[in-house]
């Protein structure tokens, strides 16, 4: 999906008042306004509940079934469902979702900014997962012919990985190396 088609969907399927219940719930349950400072005062459980509330609200928006997934197939809805699972886990880093929370709690909602933050949040999750797999099983990765150590790269949507040790089997499905490359591109 091109940026132009994404913008068209965002304009044709605006958020409107789709986040009002989420925003009202946050403001009623806190004596502090919905600002970046407010998020810094919240504990882990409160951030988890707030994040799950926002992600659930986003799932109900009309655009969610039309915006493309960052994985290259399906819709952003699939990515949000995976993110909900990650947020519900005990080891989720809430710093990566705070920009999205800030955008959703801002006084003047900006649909494009909110969806951009959604895409950044779900893409960050995949990049971190790739980083862990590459570091654990291969140590060094090559991206478009240049050597990179895990953590030094920003993987683009259509960039292909070439891994150092092509003789190993995929640790995920125990098939030849090519399957690990497919898992990393998801």
First vs last Cα of the chain: how many Å apart? Answer: 16
Q: 3-class secondary structure for 80-144?
A: HHHHHHHHHCCCCCHHHCHHHHHHHHCCCCCHHHHHHHHHHHHHHHHHHHHHHHHHHHCCCEEEC
Indicate whether 148 pLDDT > 90.
no
Which pLDDT belongs to residue 118? 94
Please enumerate in sequence order all residues whose Cβ is within 8 A of that of 62, keeping only pairs 6 or more positions apart, or say none. Answer: 13, 18
CA distances from 99 to 96, 103, 127, 184, 186 (A): 7, 6, 17, 25, 23
Question: Which of 49-53, 162-166, 171-175 is predicted least confidently?
Answer: 162-166
Taking only the tens place, the pLDDT of each residue in 101-145 is: 999 999 899 999 999 999 999 886 555 555 656 556 655 554 444
Q: How far is residue 81's CA from residue 152's CA, in Å, rounded to a whole number?
A: 28
Q: How far is residue 102's CA from residue 47's CA, in Å, rounded to a whole number?
A: 12
Which pLDDT belongs to residue 101? 95
Which pLDDT belongs to residue 123? 81
Which pLDDT belongs to residue 19? 95
Which pLDDT belongs to residue 140? 53
Residue found by looking up tokens 């125990």 in the block: 174
Indicate whether 167 pLDDT > 50.
no
Indicate whether 174 pLDDT > 80.
no
What percent of the chain is modeled with pLDDT above 90? 39
């Amino acid at each position: 999906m091109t940026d132009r088609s994404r913008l068209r969907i965002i304009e044709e399927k605006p958020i409107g008042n789709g986040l009002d219940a989420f925003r009202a719930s946050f403001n009623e349950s806190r004596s502090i306004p919905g600002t970046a400072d407010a998020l810094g005062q919240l504990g882990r459980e409160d951030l988890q509940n707030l994040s799950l509330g926002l992600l659930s609200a986003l799932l109900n928006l009309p655009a969610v079934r039309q915006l493309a997934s960052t994985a290259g197939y399906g819709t952003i809805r699939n990515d949000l469902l995976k993110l909900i699972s990650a947020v519900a886990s005990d080891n989720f880093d809430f710093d990566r979702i705070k920009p999205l929370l800030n955008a959703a709690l801002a006084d003047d909602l900006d649909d494009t900014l909110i969806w951009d933050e959604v895409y950044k949040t779900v893409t960050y999750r995949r990049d971190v997962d790739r980083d862990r797999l590459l570091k654990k099983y291969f140590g060094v990765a090559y991206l478009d012919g240049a050597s990179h150590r895990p953590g030094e790269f920003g993987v683009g949507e259509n960039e292909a990985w070439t891994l150092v040790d092509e003789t190993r089997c995929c640790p995920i499905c125990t098939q030849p190396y090519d399957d690990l490359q497919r898992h990393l591109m998801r």
